[in-house]
Structure 1
Amino acid sequence: MSIARLAARSLRSAAPRSAVARSLSSRPGVTMFSEEENMVRDMAASWCEQELKPHVRAMDTKGEMQPEIVKSLFDNGLMGMEIPEQFGGSGMNFTSACIAIEEIAKVDPSFAILVDIQNTLTNNAIRFWGSQELQDEWLPRLATDCASSFCLSEAGSGSDAFAMQTKADLSADGSHYTINGTKLWISNSSEAGVFLVFANADLSKGYKGITAFVIDAKTEGISLGRKERKLGLRASSTRPVTFENVKVDAKNVLGEVGQGYKYAIEILNEGRIGIGAQQLGIAKGAFNATMPYLFERKQFGTRIGDFQMMQQQYSQLATEIHAVETMMYNACRMKEAGVPFIKEASMVKLYSSQVAEKVASKCIEFCGGVGFTEDLMVEKFYRDCKVGSIYEGTSNIQLQTIAKLISKEY
């Protein structure tokens, strides 16, 4: 039984909530979760401990994911969190998806980004804008056995994503498009069974020609380039994806022709909250791996964690981690409430990457020489966090977005 179905069944059979719980339900704190959400957290943590944790170091060293662990993500409902149950998904809310991402990132951020892209980008894009035919075809697979990749960036279009040159030419009879171009730095490309591809159907219109396509990874003409050798997230595949005269049926257009830029912007706002969840998990993972050591190791006859200077430092880190947690889940609740959340998404994406890097760096220092080795997992969290300030919108882009929105308030 999937994690979500088990949680839902347990919730339905649970006893009525206490008076205290009922009083909190009117306006709970953003880091106070429903029974169902807490069960998702517990089950995701249990899955990580049993299925993922024993293999993390080996996969990082080898630079690839074990297929059976990816399969286990599907089997436990973690890849279709918001997909309705009628399509085989878990039918959960956005907060639950971010809870799962956070928990997985505490153990292996490489798997967290796989779950993040699947749930906050691809699945939701098809749910929001896909035709009934596309939903019927792909949502059941995305929920049960098909990983995905989000193909936006190119050599000449990173932060300026809409300078892309990948073309989609419509056939004379209007039945299909022919796509040519190369996408770079595409996460999950080795595992993906489907690509969400952005290509320009009319270069004369600039970004207003950009159109989104849902393309089966087995389509003739698609090829993967060399796997990138990265600082971190080594188990996560990142490769160029080339489209050479790839024929795509017109029915595989996501939403409307020429609206791809709009869809990309809107879905990336959600994705940035997901990155915040990943970075929060990294910060917590590094902190959790370090704190026991501080109370086991003694210097000058005193536990390291009892020195006043150390207390001040880890107290500061814990405070900043809690600030990220509050920001991230506040953005989740705003998104679910249907109120504007773009500024908050950019803020948490920006700040979470800063805090994750700070926490991981300080934790290495706290552990001394052993922190600089692979004996502890702290060095891996340090390597894995750095890309948080780069992908799904660099920190400079987030600052620009935040400033633009603030200026409109005055």
Structure 2
Amino acid sequence: MTLTRRTGFATLAAAVAAGLQAVVILVISKAALPATEFAPLAQLWAIWAVCAASFNYGCQQWAAVRPAGFGILATSAGRQLLGALCVIGLLVGAATYLVRDELFSSRSLWWPFFASLLPLGTAAVGLNRGELARTGRSMALAFVIGAENTLRIAITIVLAVVGAPAWTYGAALVAGFAVAALPRPSRDYHEDLDLRPLATATGSGMAAHALLFGSPLILALGGGDPDEVVALFLVLSAVRAPFVLLQGLIPHVAVRFGQNEGDLRRTVRFLTATGLIAAIFAYVGGALLGDAVVGRIFSIQGELSGSTFGLVAATAMLSVALTIVTVRLVASEQIRPLVLAWSIPVIATVCAIPTGLLDNISTTAWWILGCHLFVSLIVVVVTPDRASASHDEADSADSVVDRPHSPPPALR
């Protein structure tokens, strides 16, 4: 086995371990806490999932193809980024504070406070991973992927043993971001990095994942029963495994797509069709085995129908394909298809929440799947055959400041 294959396997193994650890953390937390105290923790994890899908994925894509990383926060461009992340964090904290009764079923200020830290924490982790992939440090990348949830699970076990209050489990989630400083980040950055591609990648990542991983938040704000909200979150936690794997591979995928144009529409069609086929199998598997497997793991057997398990599993598989499509389009600087595809379902969902339409788990699951099917159709229709001419010209003129001419040796 070559060094490249060993390091690639290590990254994949670390991503698998991280996914399993996340499930173990939630199982321990649910067993240690009463249902009313676990509910706000579940919602905090749901917010973390949305932030990770936005800032973690976006920063990974950006840092994987440009000379950026966690250490950039010490540069002038990084200070602009840090300021923007702090503002976003304050907005998240303020918003969750205003709706904390409906969202967390709790008036504690700890939950909005922890929520405000999630954008900065997930962005720091994403910058670190992207830099490690770009510089070919795959073993270090595997280490930080595995270490994040290892730290969380160690803290969670201690909290469960000593009978700590629920808010401390939220602190354990935030503590995992400390791995962003490991290994020691580089400080060899340029001051004039363009932050616009980062904003694009982050925004597209949020659009591609907010509806799926934010569905417990949507259900809670729509007036759903707290028990159903927690059950939906736990089911989503079980189907997050493909996303955890993808999270570990995103830096590599971003580097590959950044070097390969090819037939853009054909690639998008292939990825979307693959996602649709996978969604069909996932629905059948979820409907038949969801309650027996996931229900037993999280002690929610009999609380949800087989159809609900199937809908969530199908949406997750389709979302995985759309995530890769998003990375492909962002790498080709084709943002228009993403904006057109995601803006309509996101706006429709925001408008539907106050009406009470999404006040039960079944309707919400069907709604989210419908949104993803709509996006799949639109993105296939509006994606051009190839990247724009301006992107082609930019590629030919790129310097090392903007993008490396070839993948790092360890990623070839």
TM-score, normalised by the number of residues in structure 1 = 0.32
Which has the larger share of helix? Answer: 2
Q: Which has the higher contact order (CA 8 A, sep 6+)?
A: 2
Which has the larger share of strand? Answer: 1
TM-score, normalised by the number of residues in structure 2 = 0.32
Larger of the two Rg values belongs to structure = 1
